[in-house]
Structure 1
Amino acid sequence: MHEQLEICIDKQLPVTDIIESSSRAIEEAPENVPAQQPRSTLPGVQENGPLELAILTGKKWATGRTISIGFRGGSASLRAKVEAVAKQWEQHANLTLDFGSDATGDIRIDFAPGGSWSYLGTDALSIPQADATMNYGWLTDTSTDDEIGRVVLHEFGHALSAIHEHQNPVADIPWDKPAVYAYYAGPPNNWSREVVDRNIFQRYSTTVTNHSAFDRDSIMLYAIPNQLTIGDYEVGWNRGLSDTDRAFMATIYPRTAPSAVELTVAPPYTQAAIGAPAEQDLFSFVVADAGQHRVETFGTTDVVMTLLGPDSLTAAVAEDDDGGAGPNAAITAQLAPGRYYARVRHYSATGSGTYEIGVRRIG
């Protein structure tokens, strides 16, 4: 690969703004609240093993929302091309991208020199109105449609809360670290080792991200030259949305409520299975009278369970990984009357297997 790589930097809020940003995210969409406190609470904290990026909340917009977008520069022709490309995401996410003619909006786009970047999801709500939340420093009127399409799809992926695919928690890229440091230290990026660590090597924690299996075809993955890896491993430029990109965005911004398997608040328990990688099963039950209840899984499959409600698919009550016997999940909580939902996924993004699930009143 002879083309010099230009990749966007993860645009992060100052540490002092993280708590405010978390509050704004939860106001925007209640499902952004973490059911469990992350093991580390600030970006770049060293945990057991490699560095991970940890965030206090999710950063997704409210499903069905209209996101207002304004431009701060660029010709009318370039703006029109950006808008046309960005709206490809509307085909898969239950969101409306409303491009206005002035510089205000939830997302504010500039074309200032210095690289292309976007704040992640609802972080844009914490940026002062005077500042841009997205920048296309590489795009001009002479940019090819191919380059505009690749860059705009990528940055709007970030704006809708998607992370860089090479920082997927299950990514296993055989980086040649000395070669990577040397490569990105030169132009056009001119990155320090710290910036390389944050934008290339650090991965998001599995406890705070909703992720699929690693996708080599994702628009959120930049090209990986063979010269930056150990062995024969490389990825070319991805120029369009992959099947996983489309499915993932449709999952986090669904157009219709998913169907749920009904559970009774008593044995016998229900047999279920994670039949395919990244599959999520949804169950529902009704609490008639307030009291303490226990929802749990049984079997040898390592699952993670999130309890949602009452009468809501977005308000998290709790989440558990190994609270039950062995690899099983179990949640005990005082529940008010109403309908509750249990969402179950495999701990591994590539895992599958059978299990049982049940709910019972214990107090």
Structure 2
Amino acid sequence: MTKTVPQPHCDVRPQTRPLLRPDLSPARDRLIRLLRLKWVNGTVLHYWFDDGPAPQKEAVRKAFKEWKDLGIGLVFTEVADRSESEVRIAFDQADGSWSYVGRDVLSISANEPTMNFGWDLTDDYGRTTALHEIGHTLGMPHEHQNPFAGIVWDEPKVYAYFTGAPNHWTPEQTLHNVLRKIDVSEVEGSPWDPDSVMEYWFPAGLITEPARFKTGLNPPGGLSDADKEWVRRFFPTLEPTVPVLLPFQSVPLSLSPGGQADFSIQPQASRKYEIATFGTSDTVMVLFEEINGELRFVAGDDDSGEDRNSRVTAKLFQGRNYVVRVRLYWAGESGQTAVMYW
């Protein structure tokens, strides 16, 4: 994917920052910040196109399929109705290419896009752009902002380059997308991957260290081995069947940070139910109903950083199948939590 002419770059949308209590332990604070934007595995992400040329839409479909073909647990489904979507994709050629990151898309108004493509997606650079923006939606940041990368920038040259054509960014955009290092609390300590699909290309003269990139950085394009390893670890293939959660029976969960437990709920009566976790823990819990073979979101709760447990109240119907998924941030001193419904 070597560049012969300047190509535009992704202008990722700012992430929300959690307002956590200052008295949280460093470990608890770090795990919440690290995992808070990650989807519960098994989530079906419905995407909708806001018009756009057929070849561009097909390129995006192929990029979703390329991520899915890695064998991950997330599901990507195209829908024809905006109101059915979590991911809304526009093709505004005057707005560059960008996406919100991870679960932040859920906070965006249903009338606004969560992703945009501002240039042709049918060549190699466009294919990588589509994979890159979907990577943001999965929860991946820009790789060159990894605090462990050890990149030393010639900052005046960086500002001069990105404020010029073809990006025409403000200094604030350049700081946000290039120079700002991600807080160490929000990354896993993984080494820098210059081949990542989340890595920008840079012309000669912007990087002073490492020395081998003084002449420029040109990722090969597409998904790197590290990209594939990351997404498979966070969203592994799901088991074809999950255990049934019986009413009034507490089930202990021994999960590591980022780990997930899944249960089927098959109510014997149609009524309002409570589903909750117990113990000193931070979790995100999501309830889905199976409709025509697809899991659809019913309700969810995230108790991270709070002195309570995640809890969902919903009317469940006899004869229908539901799935509850619990993903752990932090499990206190005992490393244990539990889930029950009644």
Short-chain TM bin: 0.5 to 0.7
Contact 1:71–1:102 (CA under 8 A) maintained in structure 2: no
Map 1:192-211; keep pairs closer than 5 Å: 192-210=170-188
CA deviation string 1:274-305 (max 9, x = no partner)? xxxxxx9x9xxxxxxx999xxxxxxxxxxxxx
Offset at residue 332 of structure 1 (A): 3.5
Offset at residue 55 of structure 1 (A): 5.3
Contact 1:58–1:209 (CA under 8 A) maintained in structure 2: no
Contact 1:219–1:241 (CA under 8 A) maintained in structure 2: yes
Contact 2:119–2:126 (CA under 8 A) maintained in structure 1: no
Which residue pairs with 2:80 in the alignment?
101
Matched position secondary structure for 1:80: helix
Query: Any runs of at least 4 consecutive aligned residues in structure 1 with deviations exceeding 4 A, and if so which?
Result: 54-57, 333-338
Q: Structure 1 residues 337 and 82, CA, compared in 2 at 3 Å: closer, same or farther?
A: closer
CA–CA distance in structure 2, aligned partners of residues 79 and 192 of structure 1: 29
CA–CA distance in structure 2, aligned partners of residues 253 and 84 of structure 1: 19
Contact 1:70–1:109 (CA under 8 A) maintained in structure 2: yes
Map 1:154-303; keep pairs closer than 5 Å: 154-210=132-188, 212-230=190-208, 231-233=211-213, 234-255=216-237
Map 1:57-68; keep pairs closer than 5 Å: 58-68=36-46
Aligned partner letter, 1:127: I
Q: Structure 1 residues 56 and 88, CA, compared in 2 at 3 Å: closer, same or farther?
A: closer
Q: Structure 1 residues 334 and 36, CA, compared in 2 at 3 Å: closer, same or farther?
A: closer
Which residue pairs with 1:128 in the alignment?
109
Q: Give the gaps of 5 or more residues in structure 2.
A: 21-25, 240-256, 260-277, 281-308, 310-324
Which residue pairs with 1:82 in the alignment?
60
CA deviation string 1:120-152 (max 9, x = no partner)? 01111110010000000113xxx5332331110
Q: Structure 1 residues 194 and 116, CA, compared in 2 at 3 Å: closer, same or farther?
A: same
CA–CA distance in structure 1, aligned partners of residues 338 and 37 of structure 2: 29
Contact 2:101–2:138 (CA under 8 A) maintained in structure 1: yes
Aligned partner letter, 1:37: D
Contact 1:225–1:235 (CA under 8 A) maintained in structure 2: yes
Aligned partner letter, 1:248: W
CA–CA distance in structure 2, aligned partners of residues 118 and 63 of structure 1: 20
Map 1:347-358; keep pairs closer than 5 Å: none
Q: TM-score, with normalisation over the residues of structure 1?
A: 0.60
Q: What is the root-mean-square deviation in Å for CA atoms of aligned residues?
A: 3.6
Matched position secondary structure for 1:82: helix
Give the aligned length. Answer: 249
CA–CA distance in structure 1, aligned partners of residues 154 and 168 of structure 2: 18
Residue 97 (structure 2) pairs with residue 119 (structure 1): no
Q: Structure 1 residues 337 and 237, CA, compared in 2 at 3 Å: closer, same or farther?
A: closer
Q: Give the gaps of 5 or more residues in structure 1.
A: 23-33, 40-53, 258-279, 283-289, 293-308, 319-330, 339-363
Q: Structure 1 residues 197 and 64, CA, compared in 2 at 3 Å: closer, same or farther?
A: same
Aligned partner letter, 1:238: P
Say which of 329, 338, 341 aligns to 1:316: 329
CA–CA distance in structure 2, aligned partners of residues 172 and 181 of structure 1: 19
Which residue pairs with 1:36 in the alignment?
28
Contact 2:56–2:122 (CA under 8 A) maintained in structure 1: no
Offset at residue 174 of structure 1 (A): 2.5
Offset at residue 87 of structure 1 (A): 1.4
CA deviation string 1:298-351 (max 9, x = no partner)? xxxxxxxxxxx9xx9732334xxxxxxxxxxxx74596789xxxxxxxxxxxxx
Contact 2:28–2:330 (CA under 8 A) maintained in structure 1: no
Could you say which structure has the greater relative contact order, defined with CA pairs below 8 angstroms and 6 or more residues apart?
2
Offset at residue 161 of structure 1 (A): 0.4
Which residue pairs with 1:9 in the alignment?
11
Map 1:17-56; keep pairs closer than 5 Å: 36-37=28-29
Q: TM-score, with normalisation over the residues of structure 2?
A: 0.64
CA–CA distance in structure 1, aligned partners of residues 111 and 279 of structure 2: 50
Matched position secondary structure for 2:76: strand
Aligned partner letter, 1:189: N
Matched position secondary structure for 2:88: strand
Contact 1:82–1:148 (CA under 8 A) maintained in structure 2: no
